Amino acid sequence: MPKHFIRKITPDHQRIRSHPQLQVFGRRLHDPNLWHFNRRSASGAFAVGLFIAYLPLPFQMLYAASLAIVVRVNLPLSVALVWITNPITIPPMFYFSYRLGAWLLGVEAIDLEFQMDLQFMLAEIGEIWWPLMLGSLICGTALAAASYVTIRGLWRWHLVCEVKKRRALRRARAGLSASRSEPETPS
């Protein structure tokens, strides 16, 4: 079951509580909602993690942790989800966000040869900042909303399937025990 796998790969809550950068939250880190894994906390954590992942900001894990603590959703899952932005996924994600933002602002998108160096970033940031930020906010919000609805729907579907299995098992057991208790009639 995915729930057990996610619990296995997430760090221990005691280790996260003792993390030096998270000590600014004090007693809020002891909120049980940050550590439980249920429909509300998982869907909220997906929304928080994927929203923050789309923002072109440094230290995304700290922003995700902060937002997860404020809205009281699963902290380890929301922090882990920001890792969908990595050196392989950042260029297509941010390029799409930039193009979307430029289109919405009505400005012509600049065709850039993207380079991962500080000089390139500082030279081009003035030109691309507003379209990139607008596109990232829209993509992040859309992805957060879609993931929230999807996770809640999948969780509900899983619960309905489990209830159906249990009912069928109970019926099978009731039918089996009823057939054993009836005396055999001669034909």
pLDDT at 53: 94
- Write out pLDDT tens, residues 3-61: 666 666 666 666 666 767 666 677 777 777 777 788 888 999 999 999 999 998 888 89
Place of tokens 């001669």: 186
Report the pLDDT value the prediction gives residue 178, as an integer from 0 to 100: 63
Computed over its alpha carbons, how large is the radius of gyration of the chain? Answer: 24
Q: How big is the chain, counted in residues?
A: 187
Per-residue pLDDT band at 120 (split at 50, 70, 90): low
Neighbours of 173 (CB within 10 A): 10
Can you tell me which residue has the tokens 């009731």? 174
pTM here is: 0.74
What's the average model confidence in pLDDT over 86-108? 87
Mean pLDDT score of the chain: 82
Percent of the chain with pLDDT over 90: 31
Report, as an integer, the average pLDDT of 159-169.
91
Q: What b-and-e string marks burial along 94-125, b requiring 16 or more CB atoms within 10 Å of the CB?
A: beebbebbbeeeeeebeeeeeeeeeeeeeeee
Is residue 20 classed exposed, middle or buried when 0-12, 13-18 and 19+ CB atoms within 10 A define those classes?
A: exposed
Mean pLDDT of 151-163: 92
Q: Which residues contact 46 (CB under 8 A, 6 or more apart)?
A: 77, 78, 81, 144, 147, 148, 150, 151
